[in-house]
Every structure is written in structure tokens, then in C-alpha cells.
Amino acid sequence: MLNQHKILRVLQFISFLEQEPSKTVAQLASLLDTTERTVYRYLDLVKECGFDLQRDKINRFLIVNDRSNGVRFTPEEADYLKQLVLTSGRKSKLKDAVLSKIYLSSDTSIVAGHLIHVKNGKIVEKLSMAIANKEQAVLKKYQSINSETISDRVVEPFGFTDNYCTVMAFEPASLKNKMYNIDRIASVEFNNQSCLFESDYEQQIPDAFGFAFSGEKFPVQLDLPLKQYLLLKNDYPMTAPHFKFNAKKDMYELNIEVNDLAPIERFLKGME
């Protein structure tokens, strides 16, 4: 996990360099919240990778963005990166946080100009550090839909869902395994406390709407017209495999089991 985020941090660095105006080493260090020494290492790396890195007379750096000169990958690498990015989900916070422009050796071009979501990028990075170091983290001003409260949560994070929308963690205060939405975390801090409940961790398997299993599953069967089908699939891409088109009805049938009925109820209410 930690090595993966080091790679993604470099991609974020590349994204900053591709955005005008040119930037000094000090500015880049500030943007990445790192040292100037690390920035110099990254500059050497991007040059070795084939990026057209330019430096002006006052030592400001910029990557000249020429699509025809993009980094080339083997077919195997291209296929891997396609799967990594294209299956991560439209709302993947990891993708929002770091990926800007990657050029593949195939005909498909992916991630052409995604904006960097700085807040979520830093949150994912800090949570990854907590996981790697097996230490507790404080989720500052977490906005809970269930309790309708905003409060700090001390947790022991141990993993992310596939698209990095949520972090899986054990909450010592309630002695429960929970999932926390990355969007609803204002920031992450450390309390210098090692994890104490590792034996109680349970992998959370979210449903298509992102809710963890809490002891009961609910079957859902819906017939949706084209518009509602497209809207639901757009908001919750993981529901797509559970749809089947019924030509006789001219409707899209959803058959799925969920861990919480709230998302589907909110969706249907919004369609009224």
C-alpha cells in the first residue's frame, strides 16, 4: 500500500508540473508538503521517464505537454494501467487525488486533464501512513449521515474499499468495525497511539451503494425506465452488473441485495 502511494505521489508531482506557470523547487515542495531534497529526486525521475522537463533562467520548472511525446508502455503495462484507472469508478477519490495525464502505447488515452483533489489526496496519503505504521488516526470533523453529527473520530484504519471512496477502520470508542466516507473527512491527524485492537479487525465488504454489512441484507427488485436506469448507474456504477433489460416491458430490471435501503429510497424519492 505504501509503495503504491509513493508512485501516485509522483504522478501528482507530474500534474503540478504540467500546469502553468512554471514553479520553483520551494513551491513544489510546499504543494506536495515535502522537502526540497525529495523534489530534486522527483525531478530526476520525471526526466528519466521521458517527460520534456524545462527549466527557465530563474530555476523554475515546467513539463512541456506534448501528447505525441508521452511516456510509452509495453502492451502488458498499458493493459494494467487501463484496468487500474478505468475500473476504479467515476467517483474514485484516489483517481481524483493524483492522476492527471498518463499516455498509453495503445489507442486509448486515459485521464486527460483530471483536476487534482488536494484535500482527498492528503487524507488518503495520511490514512495509508497510519495503516503502514499500525497507528491510530483522528478523522477531524467527520460528517455522519446516520447520527447526523459532525465530530472527531479516533480510529484504527486497516484498509480501503476498491475505489478509495471509503476507509475501513476499527473505532475503539464503540468497539466496532466501520467504514468512513473520504469525502466527509475534513482532515486527518495522528495521536501518537499504536493500534490496540488488531485482533478485532474485520474486512468490510460494501454493497453496490458503499454500505457495509451490519447484520442484515435487504433484497431490492425494481423496474426502471431508461432515464432512471442511467441516473442510478451513473451515481452508483457498481449497480451496473445487477441490471437486466426486459424487452417486453421496455424496462431495466434491478435485482440486488443491499446492506442498507437508505440510498435506494433517497434515489426513488428524488425521482418523484
Alpha-carbon span 136 to 22, nearest angstrom:
38
pLDDT digits (tens, 9 = 90+) for 115-131: 234 567 778 878 888 98
Q: Report the chain's C-alpha Rg in angstroms.
A: 21
pLDDT digits (tens, 9 = 90+) for 14-72: 878 877 788 999 988 888 888 899 899 889 888 877 678 889 888 899 887 654 444 44
Decide: 224 and 254 in contact? Cβ < 8 Å: yes
The confidence band for 219, taking pLDDT boundaries of 50, 70 and 90, is very high
Query: If you average pLDDT over residues 146-172, what whole number do you get?
Result: 86
Q: Which domains does the chain have, with CATH numbers?
A: 2-98 (1.10.10.10), 129-200 (2.30.30), 218-270 (no CATH)
Q: What is the pLDDT of residue 230?
A: 92
Decide: 22 and 60 in contact? Cβ < 8 Å: yes
Percent of the chain at pLDDT above 70? 75
Beta bridge partners of 218: 258
First to last CA, the chain: 43
Alpha-carbon span 230 to 207, nearest angstrom:
19
The confidence band for 102, taking pLDDT boundaries of 50, 70 and 90, is very low
Alpha-carbon span 223 to 31, nearest angstrom:
48
Q: What is the pLDDT of residue 76?
A: 55
Identify which of 185, 190, 246, 178 has the alpha carbon closest to the alpha carbon of residue 214.
Answer: 178
Q: What is the pLDDT of residue 104?
A: 29
The confidence band for 166, taking pLDDT boundaries of 50, 70 and 90, is confident
Q: What is the pLDDT of residue 159?
A: 85
* Phi and psi torsions of 44, nearest 5°: -65, -40
